[in-house]
Chains A and B, each alone.
Chain A
Amino acid sequence: MKVDAGLGHQLERVPASAKEAEATGFDGLHTAETNHDPFFPLLLAAEHTSKIELITSIAVAFARSPMLLANIGHDLNAYSKGRLTIGLGSQIKPHITKRFSMPWGAPAAKMRELVLAMRAIWANWYGGTKLEFVGKFYNHTLMTPAFTPENKQYGAPRVILAAVGPHMTEVAGEVADGMIIHPFSTLSFINEVTLPAIERGLSKAGRRREDFEISYSNFVVSGRNEEEFNKAKQANKERIAFYGSTPAYRGVLESIGVGDLQTELNTMSKQGRWKEMGGLITDDILEAFAVVGEPHTIVPEMKRRYGAFVDRSSASFEFVDREQRKAMIAELRSA
């Protein structure tokens, strides 16, 4: 299993932290898109590292046109000598329309088209195929030599999708190079919903599972001592409660027979009762989402639970010192 680390947005600090992550043995670095551009840190990380993979996890797809993403993807992949993976997610309707002022429509179908549009642009740039992409959501029919990148050596980056529901997951299986399973997922949800949807997508496109990378970062609850452990437990319960209040994620709670919790959590979230919400997450529910235990038990349990289907995980293992962290990463990476 490959292991990734998160990369922050403070651009002055990125060179040092990217180097440190590479030296620690991480396989990839990923950025999120919240209050900063998600690509800038990866550009600086590319400059200051030589082998670590660079991943957005995720950039908001529908906030941008496929042409912009194709261009950004090209530049970062060329500069990093083929180390870029563009991880895309849909975000939700209010953020796309009211924050980004962009149109929203049938997210799974639109995402499928967005990825295919990017691939059509890349096929034009790298393979000289005429650009004639006319879709339901996107049209790209104009390209001239002046707007075609010249440095084609490393070709297109990989594209992966973040997905929760079966439609988006199936689209990932069909058109993406991999997918990011949401941390708010249970093993039964993954087995019953996620993996079958990926298989449907793969078979629709005539692709094999080996050509597809599944990334999943499970919750981890651990600590150096009782106090740290209990703090981590509480924090993770609150995070699970936060995700659990989202109507779109009800299916995940249903997978472990507690679908009704969603309604309750949602009501409480509207009253701002975040702390209390964590109290509704029992230890049993927590263990369905998280690997819980002393530091030395974490990696074996991650491998036991997820080793069969997860190709890459993301782990900061902040509850151990640097040497132990290195050892845990090495253990997770070994077969």
Chain B
Amino acid sequence: MKVDGGVGWELDKVGAEAKALEEMGYSGLMTAETSHDPFFPLLVAAMNTQRVELMTGIAVAFARTPMVLANIGHDLNAVSKGRFVLGIGSQIRPHITKRFSMPWSAPAARMREFILAMRAIWATWHEGKPLEFAGRFYTHTLMTPFFTPTNNEYGPPKVFLAAVGPLMTEVAGEVADGVIVHAFTTEKYLRETTLPALEKGFERAGKSRKDFEISYPVFVVTGKDDKSIEAAKVATKRQIAFYGSTPAYKPVLDSIGVGNLQSDLNSMSKQGRWEEMGHLITDDILKEFAVIGAPSTIAGQIKSRYGDVIDRTSAAYASIDKEDRQKIIKELTS
């Protein structure tokens, strides 16, 4: 199993950070898109590493056009010599329309077309196919040699898609090279909803599971001693409660028979009762989302529980020593 580590947005620090993570044995480095551009840290990381994959986890697709992302993806994949993975996600309607001032509609269908549009652009650049992409959401029909990258040695990057619901997950299976499963996922949901949706997508595209990567971050509750494990439990419960308050994620709670929690959590979140919300997450619920225990047990638990399903996970495990962390990474990647 591959293990990814997050890098921050501080461009003057990310070079050293990336080197250190590569030395620690990580398989990939990941950025998120919140208050900064998600690609800049990966360019700096590319210049400072040789082996690790470089991934956005995730960049907001609908904030951009397929052409701009195709170009960014091309450049980062070329400079990293084929190590770039373009991880994208839809975000939610208010952020696309009111923050980015971009159009929103039928997210799964739009995302499918978005990825196909990028692939059409890359096929023009790398294989010389005419660009004749006329879709429902995107139109790309103009390309001249002047706007075509010439450094084609490494081709297009891989595209991973973040998905929660079955429609978006099926799109990932059909048109992406991998799926980024949300941390807020139970084992049951993963096996009973995510996997079948992916299979449907594979079938539609005539591709097999082995050509595809499933990335799942997995909540990990661990610590140096019992006390810090307890503290990690409380923090993770709060995080689970936070996600659980989102209406779109109710099916995940349904998967373990506690769907009714969602409306309670939602109304409490509107009253700002974050601490209390964590109390609604029992130890039994926590176990459905997280692996829990001493550092030496973590890799074994992840492997036995998810080893047959996922190809990569991500790990910060900031609450334990570097040495223990390195052991977990080594055990997971071996």
Contact in complex: B12, A150 (CB < 8 Å): no
Judged by a CB distance under 8 angstroms, whether B182 is at the interface is no
Residues of chain A contacted by B141 (CB below 8 angstroms)? 98
Judged by a CB distance under 8 angstroms, whether A149 is at the interface is yes
Within 8 A of A (CB), among B305-324: none
Contact in complex: A142, B68 (CB < 8 Å): no
Judged by a CB distance under 8 angstroms, whether A106 is at the interface is no
Within 8 A of B (CB), among A123-155: 138-143, 146-151
Closest to A9 in B: B75
Contact in complex: A101, B11 (CB < 8 Å): no
Contact in complex: B37, A101 (CB < 8 Å): no
Judged by a CB distance under 8 angstroms, whether B247 is at the interface is no
Nearest-Cβ distance from residue B299 to partner chain A, whole angstroms:
31
Q: Bits for A42-86, please: 1 = Cβ < 8 Å to B, else 0.
A: 011001000000000000000111111001101110010000000
Contact in complex: B79, A11 (CB < 8 Å): yes
Of B49-57, B145-153, B164-172, B230-238, the one touching chain A = B145-153
Docked CA distance A39–B147 (Å): 16
Contact in complex: B67, A99 (CB < 8 Å): yes
Contact A37 B95, CB 8 Å, known A95-B142, A99-B147 = no
Contact in complex: B11, A75 (CB < 8 Å): yes
Residues of chain A contacted by B67 (CB below 8 angstroms)? 63, 99-101
Nearest-Cβ distance from residue B281 to partner chain A, whole angstroms:
22
Please count how many residues in chain A sit with their CB below 8 Å of the partner chain's CB atoms.
Answer: 46
Nearest-Cβ distance from residue B126 to partner chain A, whole angstroms:
13
Q: Which of A35, A63, A150 is B148 in contact with, Cβ under 8 Å?
A: A35
Nearest-Cβ distance from residue B112 to partner chain A, whole angstroms:
15
Contact in complex: A142, B147 (CB < 8 Å): no
Docked CA distance A94–B141 (Å): 9
Interface residues on B, range: 35 or more
Contact in complex: A67, B142 (CB < 8 Å): no
Closest to B47 in A: A44
Contact A142 B98, CB 8 Å, known A35-B147, A65-B63, A147-B35 = yes
Of B99-107, B199-207, B209-217, B264-272, the one touching chain A = B99-107
Contact in complex: B72, A142 (CB < 8 Å): no
Contact in complex: A142, B95 (CB < 8 Å): yes
Docked CA distance A74–B95 (Å): 19
Contact in complex: B75, A68 (CB < 8 Å): no
Judged by a CB distance under 8 angstroms, whether A36 is at the interface is yes
Nearest-Cβ distance from residue A255 to partner chain B, whole angstroms:
27
Contact in complex: A35, B149 (CB < 8 Å): yes
Nearest-Cβ distance from residue A138 to partner chain B, whole angstroms:
5
Contact A79 B12, CB 8 Å, known A10-B151, A40-B43 = yes
Residues of chain A contacted by B143 (CB below 8 angstroms)? 99
Known contacts A64-B65, A65-B64, A71-B35; 15 further A-B pairs (Cβ under 8 A): A9-B75, A10-B151, A35-B149, A40-B39, A40-B43, A40-B79, A75-B40, A97-B139, A98-B139, A99-B67, A100-B65, A101-B117, A101-B140, A142-B98, A143-B99
Interface residue ranges, B against A (CB under 8 Å): 9-12, 34-37, 39-40, 43-44, 47, 63-68, 71-72, 74-76, 78-79, 94-95, 97-102, 117, 138-143, 146-151
